[in-house]
Structure 1
Amino acid sequence: MAAGYPPFFADQPIQIYERIVSGKVRFPSHFSSDLKDLLRNLLQVDLTKRFGNLKNGVNDIKTHKWFATTDWFSIFKRDIEAPFTPKCSGAGDASNFDDYEEEPLRIATTEKCAKEFGEF
């Protein structure tokens, strides 16, 4: 949300996947060094180094410099108004999400495990 576009984007899903796996991210010039550092740690390809997945869990994220002025308890108590609230017309409203071409549902022609799952 800070950039206005996702960190990995392309026309085809396979290209998005390749960019995610490469781990290379370009940040807009207006991003602070603290924000870049936070995002690099959140987007870390190596799970053993990724924020939120280390021994301190979510606290690595919450105590990061970029969140220095964030009052987490006030957020928890819902005392702080959200900086952006998307317009939503109802529970099933997906207008704030990108449109994707739906793929047809593929149904298997044979049931390999019919006996095992007969009473499922």
Structure 2
Amino acid sequence: MVLIPSLTQVQLEILRLAKENPDETLQLSFESPVMGNGEPPTHNPLLIQEMIDLGLVEVQQSCVHCGISQFQQQCWLEYCSDLELPSIYAWELWRKEFIASQDGSATLISPGEEFEDFSYVWVQEMEFRAVQPG
């Protein structure tokens, strides 16, 4: 009997992209908050680890560094793209919406209260490819 794994929509999309490009490595970046004693993550993000455990993908290369959240910066730029001169008021509105959008998330990454004060995060960059059935 063939076991068909239960994957999330995001995992299915990642796997689809990997299968469409079997001769290439795909690159993903994951951000996580800098917490506790400030140690970087030592394990793969759960999203990818589940796919590794199922034998669907293999990681070619992985590195972790600390930096300003690119995800927050991109969301902010999209939010204020129609504004001629973004203000602190626009920042406060965006910040509230951004935090609310993470409701239910296991890890919360909140931008600072000061204008364009983006969070420092651990950035885990990975290169991986789909495992071809033998």
TM range (shorter): under 0.3
- Relative to its length, the structure with more strand (as a share) is 2
Instruction: Give the structure, 1 or 2, with the largest relative contact order (CA under 8 Å, sep 6 or more).
Output: 2
Task: Provide the TM-score with structure 1 as the length reference.
Answer: 0.25
- Relative to its length, the structure with more helix (as a share) is 2
Computing the radius of gyration from Cα coordinates, the structure with the larger value is 1
Task: Provide the TM-score with structure 2 as the length reference.
Answer: 0.24
